[in-house]
Structure 1
């Protein structure tokens, strides 16, 4: 697995990583894809990046470590989370799921009301699973995908890996780097405030929703960043995921559909160090917060953009989620029915890679200055995972009990997966548990 870590580090920095050790085997997760290796590699890369931030503070990071069993636990942390001893409810809405079509399979994502409405409008059916299933069964998967996406919804036909490789978007993704880290403006070198943690004094403004973006913010918070998550009171949330990914973050509401809310966001950005966002591509540009505007508003900002299908190609602005990308690109391809990855590896992997890239950009600001833009996608992470080759699909039984810890939160007592990744110079941890959405003021700590 060392070569996997070295490959990720080369993609981030163009150099060889510092000292690191990997433990464990890949049979902790089932399936043919090397998900456990990918999980360990992305966690190791983010921890190595945190170590580089320690070095510029004059602190020796020590030997970075990552373990496959701990990595596997972190990559399905939302499933292992308990609140006052009770497990999480299903994260899927009634209409979400896989449906058999006249010639294959389609996955519909209906976790948000507007996505469910788009499915019903696009297919011309009422909001019941039976009605949707009946309508889908009489049409081709391609026809259903087109109807739902045209209506503003989120859907993906199950394609074979070969069909995706020949698809224009598959070709576009194959031509993009795993991580795009680009300077987009001038700014003086960053001066770090004193701290014994890698990201102490770093302000991260998080405009994200499920799941990759929140995972990235959670990682940054564990390394000492002041992470402020911005949501909106009127928008629905998948509470099970919020409870899991909100560790160590403050949470505030800002209505970006109002002039006052956009003014508040501008003020927050003007004092931020990092903007982490996973809005649908183009959404922030439409309200005046494109990359060029952000670079002018806050020289020295690190802008991290996460998307589903990449930033080039005909699907660059398409809505997408982990489960949909797996269908579209053939990772869920099965002989009789879809066979998805054992965990939401594209979301978690992209989140950890984003955190690593953000810390790499912050390090470059210290050494070189500049305003930086980071871009990653779920489809890009999938392409990389596929490139790692296959393993024996069998898996052993795994007990994660010793990797769990208790913490107080706004929801009650959480039993959560401990932060993975060993960094002896500054062990990562969250300063507090998940706060209830919107309980904090949309301001920076002094």
Structure 2
């Protein structure tokens, strides 16, 4: 369902980051899938071209974002590589609750203490101790070690996008509008995702006109810079799904939605009756897209994970190690962004299938499977060259003046901008207009 039906025009270079893996091909290819899906949906009437300068900027969007002329912060103090007795481990502590669990699991309260504690145990011991406490970490492994592990073997299985299609007696009446400058206008997308991958998918759909409502839990707020970077064109609301009112509001939203995207660990939403199986039975016309870190089989299916953690576990950090032997990282959070654009393309394809073939689809993506796709591309075929500076957008927002990279899509010779600034976090009522 993600086969390229029409190759979009690509303006710019094919190699700019360099390095041992062809991150450029993953980036351009995932964005091209969105353009191809739009071409198929519109019967050839809408096929955005792609700017490689804008692709590079979109994949590094947080680095280009300025809020009142200030650059946003990167990884937190306790997120990073730490030496262990037999190698390295990578931690993720950008969210306060993950930082607390990390430090608590090791009985320390500072970065110096963290490094000392990790240095006294093996990488696997550190990984399992932190994970058992609800923290996020992974031992840095070689590619071969990952492929020989039970989770690595499970994550390799299947296609990048795992589709299923179920027949529907009746389907919603949303149809592509050829007169619209944003071809997904009117499509209702319910966004239950966090961090980068899922929000990138819904930011892309919003840029193309979809009505996106993001739902977050009141007790675990998103990081402000993360919300701003991925919130363009969306609405933002808060719902406590453990309350009867929140549960009822969610049911009303699902009843009116065309698409649901979820990005939580397996089982996290099931306790609220929101497993994919239950949703498909209760809302037979709902398109369901799922995303997680490690895949849907194997011993790590319910484990927390982020782009940087998956890079460490699956061999990318080892491949990108520095001259002094320290593990490295991709030039951008490419697993997140490529998965996000792949999700957006898959959703557009499923919207078309529902409209034309009366079939309602579900799809699953994982960051670990995206990593496998990256390794399949191998090394870049061309030497890296400098790109032109990307086109930037400028908007006023509830957070002040925003400077940001425009989308990677070119429509009628112009770089596509987002339709609106990010809203204040949680400001909106949980309703459809």
Q: TM-score range by the shorter chain?
A: over 0.9
Secondary structure at 1:28 match in 2 = coil
Match of 1:143 among 103, 125, 148: 125
1:323 aligns with 2:308: yes
1:163 aligns with 2:114: no
Cα offsets for 1:291-346 (capped at 9, x unmatched): 12212322211111100011111111111000000000000102611111000000
Contact 1:26 1:68 in 2 (8 A): yes
Could you tell me which runs of 5 or more consecutive residues in structure 2 were left unpaired when the two chains were aligned. none
Matched residues in 1 for 2:193 and 2:302: separation? 16
Evaluate the alpha carbon distance shift between residue 271 and residue 350 of structure 1 in structure 2; reply closer, same or farther with a 3 A threshold.
same
Evaluate the alpha carbon distance shift between residue 427 and residue 202 of structure 1 in structure 2; reply closer, same or farther with a 3 A threshold.
farther
1:358 aligns with 2:353: no
1:223 aligns with 2:208: yes
CA RMSD of aligned residues (A): 2.0
Evaluate the alpha carbon distance shift between residue 30 and residue 73 of structure 1 in structure 2; reply closer, same or farther with a 3 A threshold.
same
Alignment of 1:177-196 (within 5 A): 177-184=159-166, 186-193=168-175, 195=177, 196=180
1:66 aligns with 2:55: no
Cα offsets for 1:217-243 (capped at 9, x unmatched): 000001110000111333232211111
Contact 2:206 2:418 in 1 (8 A): yes
Alignment of 1:201-350 (within 5 A): 201-333=186-318, 334=321, 336-350=325-339
Contact 1:61 1:425 in 2 (8 A): no
Matched residues in 1 for 2:376 and 2:287: separation? 29
Matched residues in 2 for 1:425 and 1:181: separation? 34
Secondary structure at 1:276 match in 2 = strand
Match of 2:93 among 98, 110, 115: 110
Matched residues in 1 for 2:286 and 2:411: separation? 26
Secondary structure at 2:361 match in 1 = strand
Query: Cα offset for 1:38?
Result: 1.2
Query: Cα offset for 1:392?
Result: 6.7
Secondary structure at 1:422 match in 2 = strand
Matched residues in 2 for 1:181 and 1:441: separation? 32
Query: Cα offset for 1:126?
Result: 2.4
Find the counterpart in structure 1 of residue 357 from structure 2.
Answer: 368
Query: Cα offset for 1:244?
Result: 0.8
Runs of 4+ in 1 over 6 A off after TM superposition: none
1:440 aligns with 2:422: no
Matched residues in 2 for 1:426 and 1:362: separation? 26
1:84 aligns with 2:84: no
TM-score (norm 1): 0.91
Cα offsets for 1:271-306 (capped at 9, x unmatched): 100011101111111111111221232221111110
Secondary structure at 2:137 match in 1 = strand
TM-score (norm 2): 0.93
Evaluate the alpha carbon distance shift between residue 79 and residue 187 of structure 1 in structure 2; reply closer, same or farther with a 3 A threshold.
farther
Query: Cα offset for 1:420?
Result: 1.1
Structure 1, 344-353 or 25-34: larger mean CA deviation: 25-34
Secondary structure at 1:20 match in 2 = coil
Query: Cα offset for 1:116?
Result: 2.0
Evaluate the alpha carbon distance shift between residue 16 and residue 27 of structure 1 in structure 2; reply closer, same or farther with a 3 A threshold.
closer
Matched residues in 1 for 2:133 and 2:67: separation? 37
Matched residues in 2 for 1:443 and 1:379: separation? 34
Contact 1:184 1:295 in 2 (8 A): no
Find the counterpart in structure 2 of residue 51 from structure 1.
Answer: 39
Evaluate the alpha carbon distance shift between residue 25 and residue 102 of structure 1 in structure 2; reply closer, same or farther with a 3 A threshold.
same
Could you tell me which runs of 5 or more consecutive residues in structure 1 were left unpaired when the two chains were aligned. 1-11
Query: Cα offset for 1:428?
Result: 4.5
Query: Cα offset for 1:194?
Result: 6.6
Evaluate the alpha carbon distance shift between residue 174 and residue 375 of structure 1 in structure 2; reply closer, same or farther with a 3 A threshold.
same
Find the counterpart in structure 2 of residue 407 from structure 1.
Answer: 395
Matched residues in 1 for 2:219 and 2:333: separation? 27
1:199 aligns with 2:187: no
Secondary structure at 1:252 match in 2 = strand
Structure 1, 79-88 or 372-381: larger mean CA deviation: 79-88
